[in-house]
Structure 1
Amino acid sequence: MYKILRFVALFLFAAGLIPVQGMAQEALQYQVPPKEIADLVNAPLTPLVSFSRSGDFMMLLERPGNPSIEDLAQPELRIAGLRINPATSGPSRSGSFENVVIKMTRGGQEKKITGLPANPRLGGFTLSKDEKYVALTNTTPTGISLWVVDLTTLEAKKLTDEIVNGVYGGAIAWTPDNKILLKAVNPNRGSLPKAPTAPSGPTVQETSGNAAPSRTYQDLLTNPYDEALFAYFMDSQLMLVDLQGNKQPIGPAGMIKSMDLSPDGKFLLMDILKRPFSYLVPASRFPYDVEIWDIQGNKVKTLAQIPLDEVRPTGFDATVKGPRSISWRADKPATLYWVEAQDGGDPKVKMEEREIIYMLDAPFAVQPTKLASIGYRFGGINWSDDNFALLNERWFASRQERVSVINPSKPGEKGNVIIERSSDDIYNDPGNPVFTTNAYGQQVLMRKGEEVFMTSEGGSPEGSMPYLSGFNIKTKAERIIWRSKAPYYERVSKVLAPDATEFVTIKESTDIQPNYWLVNTKKRIAPIQLTQFEHPYASIKGIKKDLVKYKRKDGLDLSAIVYTPEGYDPVKDGQLPVVMWAYPREYKSAATAAQVRGSKFTFTRLNWGSPIYWVTQGYAIMDQTEMPIVGEGDEEPNDSFVEQLVANAEAAIDYIVGTGIGDRNRIAVGGHSYGAFMTANLLSHSDLFAAGIARSGAYNRTLTPFGFQYEQRSYWEAPDVYNVMSPFMNANKVKTPILLIHGEADNNSGTFPIQSERYYNALKGHGATTRLVFLPHESHGYAAKESILHTLWEQHQWLEKWVKNRP
């Protein structure tokens, strides 16, 4: 396994800077970017907000800053597609909260919680059905414990020792009588398996001739010891914990993948992993039994035995044989539903009834009922009552999605299609349903007669203007109840009134931090501001932000968000160096590819990977620069990937230079992941840029031979596409300086760290100017403060040297 134990920065000096060209290694300490950038990184984080189901109150979840590199360097197991902290029996990489404040939605009063643990790392917040209690977890260096907050007294109390098993999936669920179902570490799991001093034999995999294509995964099992470790950490015991902390084991111990309590609280849907494990796919595709237990833990029925999912047809519309997406109906006490593919999971098989949805009522003793059949792949059901539900289906290859109204009380009856559209078409997207809580404490559709309430992003040629509507299922027309208005970007967060006349919005603008507002359209009173979150980036409040539009040479409409420094005037101040940041996306229609995405009114939010930091250093920024790759009809988008990519870049450069803002000779291009892949391709096939920045990318597509991103064909089906699109194969063409950065613990499918190592070697071998930086302990996204600051320092040094002060 590719590992780097110490921080190493490799770079090839440019010709003429030192007497001899060659590769050099630096034992480099973590560096810090200019103060203006570092101060923005260190700005306090805005709390996250979580509403109660009723909407009567919200939880303000206060977050700590970025963890230190010491935190990231804690022991970590990377097995079966998981990242496990062996000391805690929990995930090694997850966010946490340091405090929670209760805030009333109407009235705005804030209530502080007492009794929380010292140095808290809180997570797993789960409200009881009656919303009188909050269950949560606290993680220490040695384990995870269960806590509860009494919302009447506002006191927190520890319920268990560090017994929570957080390795896989959720660990907490409330029963209707205010007890907590907890997935705990099996008290009898014994001691940690010891690594053998020597292997007992070779590791062998064998296939019997059945095609088993699979995409590339990270952190898979590799040997019997990995298998033993995985089984050990998955070993769980379900327990029922009351509010005094008394514990009662429920059912047998096992490798519990998930648990789901029926709405009436009488049954449990249990997924129990079993062997054989796989060295080809992650734990999510290991075999498991689907069992129904009563609340005492007695097995009522084995509903399904799901086999190992190693062999699956190719394509994004491929799926597994047998039952999948098994869930409880939200509107019934204890009714299960699931879907089964009728085409063997193979999208190449043409058939009208491609999938069937089945139902089964408690006590689960009869044959299941056929609820409905569909022609695309199942996308879920939004329940209302026994006479109304919305059935969702989609087909990736054509980007089509369909929503039908069905009557669950008349199983088998054909549904009425109310929405059929391209999933890429944001201009004609009526949005997503609004939900309310029923008597079982479950989320069901909020509707009034024939109207279903919906929230939409409100895409338009002027940018997104979100709205709330009533969608009439008979006329298929929208009744707009409320819409965001310029110069703000405002969207509905929580609907409070059953007729959707009262709701909470999140309101923001370019220089106004998002805050929550109470809106009432019936009483015609002024909206009331509920939160007072302060602007965290005072130093960039005056920068200018524009949503700009321009055309590609073939007439395709494109757009980007342009930032310029405070007070900048192109006439007086002249042209600026430019940082262009982008992420390509594939489309099956030129019309939808040309649609404007985003809004110029959104708050300028920074994150660790943002390019906006450099507006403080005198750069213009082109962010969210559209890079559409279009393939209509039988043509696949990637058949002309390079040509379209270069055309997109040319159009963006012509625009920014034509406005007088950008200096054509001082433009950098950059991106993360697929954006890094884009960057390397642009530098291979054009000389448009002064420099490039590529973070955590994949550069050799033969290392992802069974598809990547939205490419469904395998390498053997489209070898020319894979070769032309692989920057590694075109490393000899790169003449522009390129900075490569990669987390050495990258867990993203396909972006193995060796991708950057091998690409760097290829560039070096052909005399390119390049620098490779590996970040210890970092995954696909970077987390440690030291890593983030150093990454920004690396990018700043590169931009200053090769762009702003380009020789």
Structure 2
Amino acid sequence: MQKFFKPFSLLIFALLLQGSLLAQTTYQTPPSSIVDLVDSPPTPSVSFTSDGEWMMILSRPGYASIEDLSSPELRIAGTRINPQTSGSSRSGSFNDITFRKTRSGEEKKVAGLPSNPKLSGFSLSRDEKYLAFVHTESNGISLWVADLTTFEAKKLTDPILNGVLGTDVIWMPDNSIVFRAVNSRRGDYPQKPAAPSGPTIQETDGDAAATRTYQDLLSNPYEEQLFAYFMDSQLMKVTLSGEAKALGKPGMIRSVSASPDGKYLLTRTIEKPFSYLVPASRFPYQLDILSADGNLVKTLANIPLDEVRPTGFDAEVTGPRDVNWRADKGSVLYWVEAQDGGDPKVEIEERDIIYTLDAPFTGSKKKLASTKLRFSSIDWSDDSFAIVNERWWSSRQEMRSLINPSNPSQEKKTIIDRSYSDIYTDPGSPLYVENEFGRSVLMRDGNLIYMTSEGGSPEGSMPFLSAFDVSTGEQEIIWRSQAPFYERVVKVLDIKQGEVISLKESTDIQPNYWLVQTKKRMAPRQLTNFPNPYEGISDINKELVTYKRKDGLDLSAVIYTPAGYDPEKDGPLPVLMWAYPREYKSAAIASQVRGTKYGFTRLNWGSPIYWVTRGYAVMDRTEMPIVGEGDTEPNDMFVDQLVANAEAAIDYIVERGIGDRERIGVGGHSYGAFMTANLLSHSDLFAAGIARSGAYNRTLTPFGFQAEERTFWEAPEVYFTMSPFMHAHKVKEPILLIHGEADNNSGTFPIQSERYYAALKGNGGTARLVFLPNESHGYASRESILHTLWEMDTWLEKYVKNKNTIEPKK
């Protein structure tokens, strides 16, 4: 909704609202107990070299300032572009790099970094002697490299990288680097015409083109010029000495990848016509195979504009998709083609076919395998062993099958066939090692593949490491997390010797890395000692609880209460309940306990846990399952089940003596905001609500939303019943609406909050609408975050904690 991006229109809108928005015009800060937690230093990010000899520790700054967030930004073709840098305007960064010997603890800080570093795109060379990364400067993105023998960094290029759709930094076998640069001949910045040359026209010729509600789409010819200008790229290759040369022809290059042997490059180049209905990811593009020196070897395919696609979450495009290099071969491409026209409603035995094409790419494609469900991915090992993964959204089914790539006629063997929503039976995800090409292939010993799983159980998550036998389907647990800790394997150093690195935490112990011997009776050794950034809440109470819905469905939540709190002595507290609904096709799976009782209490900008410092009981991750089994869709009973979930949660916390039934607030973000508005519309359970960045009128998302595949015209009664906007006249409790003015999430246009507020106001409701300048679906600047928390705290104090002191309206 363009008017929310224009200061003048914002002023007019604010004046029309008359009062509530004008009452607060500057950024505010919440109480110090909350501010101190928000300003806690971020914990560094850790990764490991392939052999685990070194760990790379990346430090990051705190939240950005509103000044940073207010830098120039173009919102076109589904992208957010910083025109000053030709890069993304919404990306995070790191400001320090340290390497530490995993076993000895010896540290080496990378020297020679740029001043005011904004580092990202880290990539190790194949021999792991060098680290490449990019630095976002004021006028562009430059490429840097650090020598890991001296731990000195140096700048390889001027700020010439094109980062509009990410920065591809491709290491070649000779330690040169291929990247996408801004085309130095792209010309001058397009100037906006003083007046339009004519109307903007779209036309349909009868082909159904049902699409989700995307943000930031192209809207006029001038925006088309801008997108083409910023996408204009030139492939470059640079050596470690800084010698650079151009590869191939310039174009709107979307991505580049190198074959494992480094002999070929695969490029995706966006073509015209552009679309005003879908983002750049669905624009036409050309797939080209280039030699390592940039000469065109073959145009593999021309993929048309992806505007017209069948309905349903299992729908796909026709023609080649998911084109990639086999990880186990030097230069073999594979891709997938739908056999059902991309239409999930078509009944067909072979839904997708996987094809391969070998270098020098002059022959015909070869059929590798087919899938019954929709293709998801392939895990490669060698020419006799690979695992094809396929999924089907409508049934929540996943299948994993063993194939022999050297003999495509050999029947594939299904080794896993299950519901991917079932966390209790999840065998896990495969572990990988690097092969001679530096590519990730399955960690495997004959018929055994090694897996890590979250280890869902009725007691909560207890992660494990296992050996899965593909010949029998049996799984042997090698190691499992033990109470009172939540611990998971992040790196296997030696599977034969049982030597692994784990990330271990507990309710009051910050996550840290440990060296663990699973086969020897040796005490684990701590590798990092990151301090607890939240000492202010280190002694609060945390409890993973279970209870039942009135129909017998098992539910769970995590309850936080202040330090030293005793319900028998201190009495019931005001409650903040925070939740996010999820849809299930099985009541048994919906009843499963999610999360862990032993996890560290980590905060983020949107956490409700801050209010435990303000004397509230916080009911977080409150399960709100919506179940539809068989032919019944979950949303057919959305409202009834949502209210039943809330009733069960309230009954539990009140019967425990923790919560005061008359002083319970409910809140959520995005779909949780949608939930909050529905609960206030269809129940009288809560004292007040907080809804952040939600959607409230489902007729504005008519081609499906969240887990709803049906269109508005297929299920109009569902869309009507589920839309809080349609029931605004029923809301009697105060509701706080907060929304990022530049929300880029599909479906949650800022107009959703604007129109819902108008509906509430028009029906005499008590509401407050807060738009955060320059913020997206998730809030990023410190000023906006603190102001959001101030708004929430003020609302909760007035309408929940001190509800009984409010004088009734006359």
Q: Same fold (TM over 0.5)?
A: yes
Which of 738, 741, 755 is the matching residue for 1:741? 738
Counterpart in the other structure of 2:466: 469
1:742-781 correspondence runs (5 A): 742-781=739-778
Counterpart in the other structure of 1:670: 667
Distance in 2 separating the partners of 1:574 and 1:174: 62
Counterpart in the other structure of 1:682: 679
Distance in 1 separating the partners of 2:335 and 2:19: 60
Distance in 2 separating the partners of 1:27 and 1:276: 46
Contact 2:113 2:154 in 1 (8 A): yes
Closer, same or farther in 2 for the Cα pair 1:11/1:56, shift >3 Å? farther
Distance in 2 separating the partners of 1:170 and 1:709: 30
Contact 1:10 1:773 in 2 (8 A): no
Contact 1:54 1:437 in 2 (8 A): no
- Answering whether residue 293 of structure 2 is matched by residue 296 of structure 1, we say yes
- The alpha-carbon deviation at position 563 of structure 1 amounts to 0.4
Which consecutive segments of 4 or more residues in structure 1 shift more than 4 A?
4-13, 21-24
1:210-221 correspondence runs (5 A): 210-221=207-218
Counterpart in the other structure of 2:22: 25
- Answering whether residue 164 of structure 2 is matched by residue 167 of structure 1, we say yes
Distance in 1 separating the partners of 2:563 and 2:23: 37
Which of 189, 196, 201 is the matching residue for 2:186? 189
Distance in 1 separating the partners of 2:73 and 2:5: 14
Residue aligned with 1:581, SS: strand
Count of residue pairs brought into register by the alignment: 800
Counterpart in the other structure of 1:277: 274
Q: Which amino acid aligns with 1:3?
A: F
Instruction: Name structure 1 gaps, 5 residues minimum.
Output: 14-20
TM-score when scaled to structure 1? 0.98
Contact 2:144 2:154 in 1 (8 A): yes
Counterpart in the other structure of 2:808: none
1:364-763 correspondence runs (5 A): 364-499=361-496, 501-763=498-760
- The alpha-carbon deviation at position 27 of structure 1 amounts to 4.7
Counterpart in the other structure of 1:17: none
- The alpha-carbon deviation at position 167 of structure 1 amounts to 0.5
**Deviation larger for 578-587 or 296-305:** 296-305
Which of 38, 48, 51 is the matching residue for 2:48? 51
Contact 2:167 2:179 in 1 (8 A): no
- The alpha-carbon deviation at position 177 of structure 1 amounts to 0.6
Distance in 2 separating the partners of 1:340 and 1:423: 24
- The alpha-carbon deviation at position 498 of structure 1 amounts to 4.2
1:104-253 correspondence runs (5 A): 104-253=101-250
Q: Which amino acid aligns with 2:744?
A: N
TM-score when scaled to structure 2? 0.98
- Answering whether residue 349 of structure 2 is matched by residue 352 of structure 1, we say yes
Distance in 1 separating the partners of 2:561 and 2:258: 53
- Answering whether residue 313 of structure 2 is matched by residue 316 of structure 1, we say yes
Q: Which amino acid aligns with 2:103?
A: R
Distance in 2 separating the partners of 1:605 and 1:229: 41
Q: Which amino acid aligns with 1:576?
A: L
Contact 1:137 1:145 in 2 (8 A): yes
Distance in 2 separating the partners of 1:56 and 1:411: 39
Distance in 2 separating the partners of 1:784 and 1:83: 16
Percent same amino acid at aligned positions? 68
Contact 2:44 2:57 in 1 (8 A): yes
CA-atom RMSD in angstroms: 1.4
- The alpha-carbon deviation at position 142 of structure 1 amounts to 1.1
- Answering whether residue 340 of structure 2 is matched by residue 343 of structure 1, we say yes
- The alpha-carbon deviation at position 103 of structure 1 amounts to 1.3
Residue aligned with 2:468, SS: strand
Residue aligned with 1:26, SS: coil
Q: Which amino acid aligns with 1:717?
A: E
Distance in 2 separating the partners of 1:25 and 1:765: 18
- The alpha-carbon deviation at position 104 of structure 1 amounts to 1.6
**Deviation larger for 408-417 or 111-120:** 408-417
Distance in 1 separating the partners of 2:493 and 2:189: 50
Distance in 1 separating the partners of 2:287 and 2:28: 51
Q: Which amino acid aligns with 1:405?
A: L
Q: Which amino acid aligns with 1:426?
A: I
Which of 254, 267, 271 is the matching residue for 2:264? 267
Distance in 1 separating the partners of 2:318 and 2:460: 42
Distance in 2 separating the partners of 1:142 and 1:418: 52
Contact 1:10 1:26 in 2 (8 A): no
- Answering whether residue 63 of structure 2 is matched by residue 62 of structure 1, we say no
Counterpart in the other structure of 1:18: none
- Residues 733-768 of structure 1 show CA distances to partners (whole Å, capped at 9, x for unaligned) of 000100000000000000000000000000000000
Distance in 2 separating the partners of 1:233 and 1:58: 36
Contact 2:319 2:338 in 1 (8 A): yes
**Deviation larger for 26-35 or 61-70:** 26-35
- The alpha-carbon deviation at position 5 of structure 1 amounts to 5.1
Distance in 1 separating the partners of 2:428 and 2:270: 36
- The alpha-carbon deviation at position 477 of structure 1 amounts to 1.1
Distance in 1 separating the partners of 2:351 and 2:154: 51
Contact 1:448 1:499 in 2 (8 A): no
- The alpha-carbon deviation at position 469 of structure 1 amounts to 0.3
Closer, same or farther in 2 for the Cα pair 1:234/1:4, shift >3 Å? closer
- The alpha-carbon deviation at position 26 of structure 1 amounts to 2.6
Counterpart in the other structure of 2:798: 801
- The alpha-carbon deviation at position 12 of structure 1 amounts to 12
Q: Which amino acid aligns with 1:725?
A: M
- Answering whether residue 78 of structure 2 is matched by residue 81 of structure 1, we say yes
- The alpha-carbon deviation at position 522 of structure 1 amounts to 3.2
Contact 2:30 2:793 in 1 (8 A): yes
Distance in 2 separating the partners of 1:498 and 1:460: 25
Distance in 1 separating the partners of 2:225 and 2:146: 37
Q: Which amino acid aligns with 2:573?
A: L
Contact 2:181 2:233 in 1 (8 A): yes
Distance in 1 separating the partners of 2:547 and 2:284: 51
Closer, same or farther in 2 for the Cα pair 1:23/1:619, shift >3 Å? closer
Distance in 2 separating the partners of 1:480 and 1:24: 57
Counterpart in the other structure of 1:42: 39
Contact 2:516 2:524 in 1 (8 A): yes
Contact 1:588 1:630 in 2 (8 A): yes
Contact 1:702 1:722 in 2 (8 A): yes
Closer, same or farther in 2 for the Cα pair 1:583/1:10, shift >3 Å? farther
Contact 2:88 2:166 in 1 (8 A): no
Q: Which amino acid aligns with 1:45?
A: P
Distance in 2 separating the partners of 1:589 and 1:804: 38
